[in-house]
Structure formats: structure tokens, C-alpha cells
Amino acid sequence: FVATEGSEGAGRCRNKPECYLYATHLRSIFCSLFQDDPKRPVVALLNYCRSGGGIEFLRRSHTRKALGAEKWPLYLMSSCQASHDALVGGLWETWFQQLSKRIPKLLSSDAKDDAMSTNNITLGNLFFESKKEYHIKNKYELKDLVKTFAFPSIFGETNEDQNAVAVRYDSDLAKVICSSSDGTPDFALIKKMQQEYRDGKRWKGRKVGR
């Protein structure tokens, strides 16, 4: 199923080829499950670093066709992309919070009469709201990652302005790091902010990005 030779000296899976097999195991499990019971719906949340690799096979038309996956009643989610780490908070926390809010509405006696509101409760909507909350709750980690790679040059200096610019930069970054509709960074605003720091519009003095 999976070529594992690349694990030698490679990244976090260095010399551990079994790390590359987990997604293959999941795919085989789903395949066996739907062969035995093709009408059983399955909702799965992959909540671990680089978990997006576990759903990559669903994006490949030839793989879906070979497995018959296009007929699977499967809704598969991941907490991050295939080449990125997950945030520490855990997507399952916000997922189950959103789910617990909506279950009472589905079970209430008024659910049949309120068709409009219940029709809006879909897995896609649940995932969208859960992902948004997931990003917002873990904003601090997203900010720290950005500040690891880009910061005003004054951070490395010792003077009376250092703390002031650090607070200003953190505040400015907090406003844009989760400001897209799904809680992801608004890269257009981040780019604008970065340019304003370079031009000295946000802070007077020497401003550069690294």
C-alpha cells in the first residue's frame, strides 16, 4: 500500500516506517466495514498531527473508484492538513460541544414543526462551526507560530520601546489571525499588516519582517 523507504532520516517519522501505515490501516478498516455493511453510516474525526493524510485517498478519483468509496455513507474529518501539526486544544472538544448543543433541538417535540432550523443542522455545518471555534480557542498557538517566523526587528533590541512594540504587535496579530469566516487567518489582512510594519505606519522606527 505505502512506500516506507522515505522514513529513513526523514522528519518526525525518522526511521519509523510504521508511522506511514496508519492511514492505510484506516482505509482498509473503512473498506472492510462497508463491504460487510454498506448502508451503515459512519462519522469519523481524525484528531492528531498530520491527520489530513488520512483522508487524502478520498480526494483521488481513481482510488475512490477502486474501493467503491463513492457509495460509502462516510463523513470523515481531520484536525489539520496532511503536512501540518494539529493545534493542542483538540478539534474533538469543539466538535462534541457543537453536537451537544444541537441534539436537544433534534429530539425536541417542536423539531417537526421547526423544519427550517432542523434542516440547517448538517454535518457540514457542525464541522464548520467546530473548526471555527477550534481555531479561535487556540489563537494563542497560531500567534506564537507566526511570531516564530516574523516579528519587528526591535524585538531583538534592548530599549524602552521593546515592550511597547511587542504588546502592539501581539494585539495587531490577534485581530487578524482568526478573522476569516471559518476562524482561519485572514491572509490579506496579515499581508497588509506586515507591509504597514515594514513601512513604519504601525510603529515608528525600524520595522522589518524576517
Tens of pLDDT, residues 134-145: 999 999 888 888
Residue 111: pLDDT band with limits 50, 70, 90: low
Residue 18: pLDDT band with limits 50, 70, 90: low
Which pLDDT value is given to residue 205? Answer: 46
Residue 208: pLDDT band with limits 50, 70, 90: very low
* Exposed/middle/buried for residue 144 (C-beta within 10 Å: 0-12, 13-18, 19+): exposed
Q: What is the mean pLDDT of residues 18-27?
A: 76
Q: Is the pLDDT of residue 40 over 50?
A: yes
Task: State the average pLDDT for the chain.
Answer: 79
**Which residue's C-alpha cell is 472538544?**
93
3-class SS at 159? coil
**Minimum mean pLDDT among 33-42, 73-82, 178-187, 194-203: which range?**
194-203
CB neighbours of 194 closer than 8 A, spacing ≥ 6?
Answer: 150, 209
Q: Is the pLDDT of residue 92 over 70?
A: yes
Q: Is the pLDDT of residue 19 over 90?
A: no
Closest CA to 91 of 128, 131, 42: 131
Strands 42-46 and 74-78: parallel
**Minimum mean pLDDT among 17-21, 48-52, 173-177: which range?**
17-21
Q: Is the pLDDT of residue 112 over 70?
A: no
**Amino acid in the structure at residue 195:** Q
pTM above 0.85, yes or no: no
Residue 76: pLDDT band with limits 50, 70, 90: very high
Which pLDDT value is given to residue 16? Answer: 60
Residue 78: pLDDT band with limits 50, 70, 90: very high
Q: Is the pLDDT of residue 178 over 70?
A: yes
CB neighbours of 142 closer than 8 A, spacing ≥ 6?
Answer: 87, 135, 177, 178, 185
Q: What is the mean pLDDT of residues 104-123?
A: 65
